[in-house]
Chains A and B, each alone.
Chain A
């Protein structure tokens, strides 16, 4: 018998799972805080106060959420094709370094043009870095999980060498590239700390979501991800589509790096590694691979990322605690994919 309330039940279920997961993870992490001698209530209270009771808090949260949203879209595009791009970190780094290098050579160019060139360079950097894993996957069927992870470590060394060597700004003691002057960076919106990159992230998220759900290419990606054998019978070029989805994912990751350079960073410092990759996985699974849900999930993880910034001073909690928190959320979500309270529907 068809269930007249099936749709609403699905909506409630998709909301309940992540919320329950976060609550459970918060409990586990509170115990961890307690064990090392913090007062968890005071810590959470400090976080909420910092984030929501000051205008700067909400703004910083939005700024932190923007790259996470884009990185989440990057992971989700590949995941929709059934692929695991765990190399976001490397693609972000290469995109950022390419953007920083091109940005500093373009001094005096009109700002709009400079922004466009820098962002496109970042995209190309990310594309270049995912191209080899994508090619190996399409040509030899080499497992993309392993190759993208390995390329993260290669990117770390490569960018660190470039920044300490050929691309170094010799006028500054610390190894970093020449800075893009603040006037050339993305403008702040109406006297806040929120920069235009946040709008850009929202637009890209909207466009990619629309494209994946409304275009033939988006359909091919979904078909490839859900049932590659059926997709082959439907004459969808599965190898090409997989490679394309990985390339799109890498391009988005490159954009994340360029966006950071053009807004908050301005320069590429040696050993800089924001590590968005694993957070982006937490984001995508928090959103249960639903593109619309990526937005609230990004806001929540933006809150945690802001917390990692301010909590060492506000409550004496080391920022690494928040990476632990996100890891616990991922573990809980992995288990929650099995929904014991939904047993009947599964059969």
Chain B
């Protein structure tokens, strides 16, 4: 048994497999900062995953598929944002409804279009660092294996993180989550800021879903996201809505999801059912260990009724 090979496999699987969780969790963190708790991203991931999968199957273009996923996510996010602010919907009920409609709707459409068939994508995509960094042990080959969307996702997250930290919109977003009254008093629209944040969050989740079906798996099946959207909610809490911290946490949990491939390589005989439990249990455990001093945005999950309770 070669430790280096096993570690490389683990890191490779973690880097590739954590992208949907990372994008969704970063999106959720953005939404939560603005005061929106979205339990519907599981549904958004599935809907955009199916849309992207369909487009890639038709056009054989990965870029188009990812763009389609992003747009689908944007539409879903806008819908959530508008209903949760202007529509004054209960965010938890709305989110659960979106998850349920997404689960059912994608399964429904999938059965309608493909029946019991299971079409597969075979897209070759560019590996920017292919065998360039192989001289670095473990990390080099693991990076070399990654396809371009992985790097794009990390650039996107890092860029968003610094943009939100520095821009006026980032500040307004945090105000919408912590002290919406103050935001409105400063002349900005709380609902507008929240809707924009929800749209951004939806776009990221949609990209995550598109990545899942087109880059990582190459197929779609009903319920294929197995709780990634819900894990994203937990990871956003764990990372205390700090985008970079959330992204690193996602990578860590991706490591746990990639355990099965690594253990197979190491010839460790473990029941797949046990390996599948580990990430979920780890989330609960870290939530207990680290979640105690975590503070939620003060206005998280609440409908903003405006200055002096008008409307």
Partner of A150, one of B98, B100, B230, B309: B230
- Once the chains bind, are B284 and A326 in contact (CB under 8 Å)? no
Q: Tell which of A48-56, A95-103, A197-205, A331-339 binds the partner.
A: A331-339
- Which residues does chain B contribute within 8 Å of A136, judged by CB atoms? 284, 288
Q: Is the C-beta of B224 less than 8 angstroms from some C-beta in chain A?
A: no
CB contact list, B76-107 vs A, under 8 A: 83, 87-94, 96-105, 107
CB contact list, B205-244 vs A, under 8 A: 222, 226-227, 230-231, 233-234, 237
| A146 to B93 CA separation, bound complex (whole angstroms) | 15
| A176 to B143 CA separation, bound complex (whole angstroms) | 43
- Once the chains bind, are B274 and A161 in contact (CB under 8 Å)? yes
- Which residues does chain A contribute within 8 Å of B39, judged by CB atoms? 145
Q: Is the C-beta of B148 less than 8 angstroms from some C-beta in chain A?
A: no
Determine how close the nearest CB of chain B comes to the CB of A139; give it in whole angstroms. Answer: 9
Determine how close the nearest CB of chain B comes to the CB of A29; give it in whole angstroms. Answer: 9
Q: Tell which of A115-123, A278-286, A294-302 binds the partner.
A: A278-286
Q: Is the C-beta of B291 less than 8 angstroms from some C-beta in chain A?
A: yes
- Which residues does chain B contribute within 8 Å of A282, judged by CB atoms? 97, 100
What is the 8 Å Cβ interface bit string for chain A, positions 239-256, against chain B (1 contact, 0 not)?
000000000000000000
- Once the chains bind, are B288 and A140 in contact (CB under 8 Å)? yes
Q: Is the C-beta of B165 less than 8 angstroms from some C-beta in chain A?
A: no
- Once the chains bind, are A337 and B222 in contact (CB under 8 Å)? no
Q: Is the C-beta of A325 less than 8 angstroms from some C-beta in chain B?
A: yes
Q: Is the C-beta of A151 less than 8 angstroms from some C-beta in chain B?
A: yes
- Once the chains bind, are B280 and A151 in contact (CB under 8 Å)? yes
What is the 8 Å Cβ interface bit string for chain B, positions 230-272, against chain A (1 contact, 0 not)?
1101100100000000000000000000000000000000010
Known: A86-B96, A158-B273. A320 touches B104 (CB 8 A): yes
Partner of B107, one of A147, A154, A164, A323: A323
Q: Is the C-beta of B149 less than 8 angstroms from some C-beta in chain A?
A: no
| A140 to B276 CA separation, bound complex (whole angstroms) | 26
Count A/B pairs, Cβ under 8 Å.
156
Determine how close the nearest CB of chain B comes to the CB of A51; give it in whole angstroms. Answer: 19
Q: Is the C-beta of A322 less than 8 angstroms from some C-beta in chain B?
A: yes
Partner of A322, one of B99, B104, B112, B277: B104
- Once the chains bind, are B277 and A327 in contact (CB under 8 Å)? no
- Once the chains bind, are A281 and B104 in contact (CB under 8 Å)? no
- The number of chain A residues with a CB under 8 A from chain B is 50
In the complex, residue of chain B having the shortest beta-carbon distance to the beta carbon of A329: B97
Q: Is the C-beta of A306 less than 8 angstroms from some C-beta in chain B?
A: no
Q: Is the C-beta of A32 less than 8 angstroms from some C-beta in chain B?
A: yes
Q: Is the C-beta of A92 less than 8 angstroms from some C-beta in chain B?
A: no
- Once the chains bind, are B230 and A333 in contact (CB under 8 Å)? no
- Once the chains bind, are B103 and A323 in contact (CB under 8 Å)? yes
- Once the chains bind, are A328 and B97 in contact (CB under 8 Å)? yes
Q: Is the C-beta of A27 less than 8 angstroms from some C-beta in chain B?
A: no
Known: A143-B237, A158-B277. A321 touches B92 (CB 8 A): no
- Once the chains bind, are B89 and A334 in contact (CB under 8 Å)? yes
Q: Is the C-beta of A84 less than 8 angstroms from some C-beta in chain B?
A: yes
| A322 to B108 CA separation, bound complex (whole angstroms) | 9
Known: A160-B273, A323-B100. A150 touches B109 (CB 8 A): no
Q: Is the C-beta of A142 less than 8 angstroms from some C-beta in chain B?
A: yes
Known: A337-B93, A338-B87. A326 touches B273 (CB 8 A): no
Determine how close the nearest CB of chain B comes to the CB of A27; give it in whole angstroms. Answer: 14
| A324 to B47 CA separation, bound complex (whole angstroms) | 12
Determine how close the nearest CB of chain A comes to the CB of B19; give it in whole angstroms. Answer: 20
Determine how close the nearest CB of chain B comes to the CB of A138; give it in whole angstroms. Answer: 12
Q: Is the C-beta of A347 less than 8 angstroms from some C-beta in chain B?
A: yes
- Once the chains bind, are B104 and A142 in contact (CB under 8 Å)? no
Q: Is the C-beta of A272 less than 8 angstroms from some C-beta in chain B?
A: no
Of A160, A332, A335, chain B has the most CB atoms within 10 Å of the CB of A335
| A334 to B92 CA separation, bound complex (whole angstroms) | 8
Known: A143-B287, A330-B100, A334-B83. A157 touches B89 (CB 8 A): no
Q: Which A residues contact B (CB, under 8 angstroms)? A: 32, 36-37, 84, 86, 132, 136, 140-143, 145-147, 149-154, 157-158, 160-161, 164-165, 278, 281-282, 285, 318, 320-335, 337-338, 347
- Can you list 26 pairs linking A and B with CB atoms under 8 Å apart? A140-B291, A145-B92, A146-B234, A150-B234, A153-B277, A154-B280, A154-B281, A157-B274, A160-B273, A278-B99, A282-B97, A323-B101, A323-B103, A323-B107, A326-B104, A327-B101, A327-B102, A328-B97, A328-B101, A330-B94, A333-B93, A334-B89, A334-B91, A335-B87, A337-B93, A338-B89
The 7 closest A-B CB pairs, nearest first, are: A323-B104, A327-B101, A330-B97, A327-B100, A324-B104, A320-B107, A161-B273
